[in-house]
Structure 1
Amino acid sequence: MCHSPDEQYRTYNILLILSQSCCKLLSRNSLGTTDCFGTKQQLQNTNIFIKCMIERSHLSLMENRKQNARELWNVTFYDDVPAYLSFHEPVLQSLIIFICTAGLVEAGFFIWSLGFCLKKVNMVTTYFLNLAVAEFGLFAFLLVLAALSIAECAPKLKMPVVYLLFFAYTAAVYFLTVISVERCLGVLFPIWNRTKRPTRTSSILSFLVWSTAGFLSGITMCFHYVWSYHHSVTMIRIICSGNVLILTPLVVVSSLISFIDNFSRKPLPKMLRTNQSLRLIFFIFFAMPLSFFYFMDWLGYTFPAMFMWISFLLTCINSTMNPLIHYVLGGQWKRWKSGRT
């Protein structure tokens, strides 16, 4: 049976400890005669032999780790796609490039409109402005990642782009969650929301969202450059698992509460019902598949790389549709037009 260098190294260490213990016991024995483990001289020879084997195993282990570190730079991100699926990856990447290009124009338009063309900034416009900035970064970094994957160039640049992409993705998901919870609080406590809600709450929450996303992405990048690639992937899995286990139930519960409360008080307009339904559907089936991909990977269910690119494509579609669903169908567009300079 073949054993890895790590297992051999641990085995030799255990044998060395046992041999040294026997030598100490025999040195205390004044007779120094044979024992069930052999004579004192034989144990010393065994000690020397085991030390030599440990040194050889340690050198072999370090050489294997250096070889693995060199090989990591030569592989693509999640380069484990089978041959029968590899043809579809460039197609998905091309679609991502096309959608990201359109999304950059859309996000740039909303940043310009909400950031420079409004007389007064309120809670809604603050969140949507920050969401547009996060989605602009998501489109930009995903466009670069797809282009590098198609061109198969600059492998060392690919991992920093991935970390920046997850920074923008995490911020966008957090802002979607905050918007959903704020709408729920506005429905449940309308008087408090209009009169007693602090005016700077939106700005403070936006700062906390950016700080949290930057902190998590910074830790992930530090794990990659200080320790190893595998530690950074583990951190990405933890972040995505938190999105699945915490943010998704929070969005689902807040959306259902706001929908039921609105519907119980008075009949909702058809457009508003459509808006609330689309917000929940797009968050679960378009924004969360990327987090679900890494959550299942953390549980041991490894999918081909094509599913990761499908998740990226769904994330692009979600970010493209978010301004239309949350702002246009939500009735904020008319208020925006009336508040323009």
Structure 2
Amino acid sequence: MSFCQLLRHHWNQLYWLLPFHWTISATWRGGICCLGTKQQLQNTNIFIKCMIERSHLSLMENRKQNARELWNVTFYDDVPAYLSFHEPVLQSLIIFICTAGLVEAGFFIWSLGFCLKKVNMVTTYFLNLAVAEFGLFAFLLVLAALSIAECAPKLKMPVVYLLFFAYTAAVYFLTVISVERCLGVLFPIWNRTKRPTRTSSILSFLVWSTAGFLSGITMCFHYVWSYHHSVTMIRIICSGNVLILTPLVVVSSLISFIDNFSRKPLPKMLRTNQSLRLIFFIFFAMPLSFFYFMDWLGYTFPAMFMWISFLLTCINSTMNPLIHYVLGGQWKRWKSGRT
């Protein structure tokens, strides 16, 4: 086998090992001019052009394949065989927890909205949080039921967008509650005397408006442009939750915890309440946002991990009233202010 035939035979391996193919092609042409005839040079040039075009087409095809994987539809992904059995089990658990959560959230909505003589800052936030979690339970229950029954696929996406609307509102209210507690600890005099009375109502309106605006944009992207744009919007929202809200909650919770310990010893129940609030927010409320944040970075997980995130979100929403209201010392105040 001649030198030219050997290079032709191993061209594919040499081409990918040498990324600057235009330089190598010029060097190869110079070598062929010295070693071979004019006909061999023409054949070699034609061969080089064909291989370069083929390599460019292969590279573009790889890029398109990577783009398809990046825009992967996580709601309808097929999980591997060894994981497919566990997905209906997770969906059944979600249905059970959501059913109990609907009863709990409905009870707190009735208690805070209709059985209190006076509504204050705390009850305003908790009432709005209970409404957001009621919607979260309802939409997630419908989504899990549709996934188990494998029916009405066109109905899934509107339910998903409404679910993310309720989830975003609930996460925002948890953040506002944590920041308000921090401000109340750092500035107790201002919080009791100079704080505007309608601040809680205004902030609640802003939270609902922001969550509705983001969810509305996501739905518009889906129905006006394409599904890929709506998935990108969901990833951006969840990335904002991870990069902005999580540090904000962690810092405000730590400041409140340290300040309370420096001033006076706290009761054991209150210390447990502050610790549980932070733990449940990070490890139960944020995994869903972290799932789409990592998906935005290109680390696509099986759909089962999304259902695990939904399950953790259900557990967090079920425990929130107990942690923030019962263990937080608001239960006795609720009983004293009850009609």
**TM-score, normalising length from structure 1?**
0.79
The question of whether the paired residues in 1 share the 8 Å contact of 2:70 and 2:298 is answered with no
% identity of equivalent residues: 97
What secondary structure is seen at the aligned counterpart in 1 of 2:33? coil
What does residue 266 of structure 1 align with?
264
Q: CA deviation at 1:82?
A: 1.1
* Pair 1:119–1:47, CA change in 2 (3 A): farther
Q: Deviations over 1:78-110 (max 9, x none)?
A: 323111101100000000000000000000000
The question of whether the paired residues in 1 share the 8 Å contact of 2:32 and 2:41 is answered with no
Q: CA deviation at 1:243?
A: 0.1
What does residue 25 of structure 1 align with?
6
Q: CA deviation at 1:77?
A: 1.9
The question of whether the paired residues in 2 share the 8 Å contact of 1:33 and 1:39 is answered with no
What secondary structure is seen at the aligned counterpart in 2 of 1:45? helix
Q: Deviations over 1:113-137 (max 9, x none)?
A: 0000000000000000000000000
The question of whether the paired residues in 1 share the 8 Å contact of 2:116 and 2:337 is answered with yes
2:77 maps to which of 73, 79, 89: 79
- What is the distance in 2 between the residues matched to 1:167 and 1:184? 26
What does residue 17 of structure 2 align with?
none
Q: CA deviation at 1:70?
A: 16
Please show how residues 219-230 of structure 1 align to structure 2 within 5 Å. 219-230=217-228
* Pair 1:90–1:250, CA change in 2 (3 A): same
Ranked by relative contact order (alpha carbons within 8 Å, sequence separation 6 or more), the top structure is 2
* Structure 1 runs, 4 residues or longer, greater than 6 Å off: 20-76
* Pair 1:24–1:222, CA change in 2 (3 A): farther
Q: Deviations over 1:278-328 (max 9, x none)?
A: 000000000000000000000011111110000000000000000000000
The question of whether the paired residues in 2 share the 8 Å contact of 1:93 and 1:147 is answered with yes
The question of whether the paired residues in 2 share the 8 Å contact of 1:22 and 1:43 is answered with no
The question of whether the paired residues in 2 share the 8 Å contact of 1:89 and 1:309 is answered with yes
Q: Deviations over 1:31-57 (max 9, x none)?
A: 999999999999999999999999999
* Pair 1:43–1:87, CA change in 2 (3 A): same
Q: Deviations over 1:199-220 (max 9, x none)?
A: 0000000000000000000000
Structure 2 runs not aligned, ≥5 long: 8-24
What secondary structure is seen at the aligned counterpart in 2 of 1:34? helix
* Pair 1:43–1:211, CA change in 2 (3 A): farther
Structure 1 runs not aligned, ≥5 long: 1-19
What secondary structure is seen at the aligned counterpart in 1 of 2:109? helix
Q: Deviations over 1:135-183 (max 9, x none)?
A: 0000000000000000000000000000000000000000000000000
* Pair 1:28–1:158, CA change in 2 (3 A): closer
Q: CA RMSD in A?
A: 6.4
* Pair 1:161–1:53, CA change in 2 (3 A): farther
- What is the distance in 2 between the residues matched to 1:263 and 1:272? 11
